[in-house]
């Protein structure tokens, strides 16, 4: 029972590089989310997708893009990484008000 799977778990990027964080859920949930977690700031919503084919901006969308490829997968792309994007990124899926989280991706931009 995998739940929500994020890859990679760790990544170091140089400023200006691009990368895509992958997220997949096997619970047939409609809603999926991307958050970033920074010390003392809790989780801040980057983007969310209420259903396949729809995406909406959250609190901190600048510098990110997302793709809801299908019902299972919701990817987060950094086109030109900046040191301010150093963070832990969490993907979540939700059904009937309960959210399930992946283990996180720790990203460092140098």
First to last CA, the chain: 36
Site string for another protein, 19-58 (x = CB under 8 A): -----------xx-x-x----xxxxxx--x-xx------x
- Decide if residue 89 touches another protein (CB under 8 A): no
Nearest to 64, CA basis, from 50, 81, 39, 51: 81
**Which is nearer to another protein, 48 or 85 (by Cβ)?**
48
Nearest to 29, CA basis, from 78, 103, 102, 88: 102
Q: Which two tokens stand for residue 57?
A: 């901006």
- Decide if residue 72 touches another protein (CB under 8 A): no
Q: Which residues bind another protein (CB under 8 A)?
A: 4, 30-31, 33, 35, 40-45, 48, 50-51, 58, 90, 92, 94-104
């Amino acid at each position: 029972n995998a739940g929500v799977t994020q890859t990679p778990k760790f990544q170091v990027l140089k400023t200006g590089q691009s990368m895509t964080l992958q997220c997949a859920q096997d619970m047939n949930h409609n809603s999926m989310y991307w958050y970033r977690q920074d010390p003392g700031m809790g989780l801040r919503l980057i983007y969310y997708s209420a259903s396949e084919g729809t995406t909406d901006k959250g609190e901190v969308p600048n510098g990110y893009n997302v793709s809801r490829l299908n019902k299972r997968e919701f990817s987060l792309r950094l086109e030109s990484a900046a040191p301010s994007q150093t963070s832990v990124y969490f993907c979540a899926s939700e059904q009937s008000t309960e959210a399930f989280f992946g283990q996180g991706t720790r990203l460092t931009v140098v």
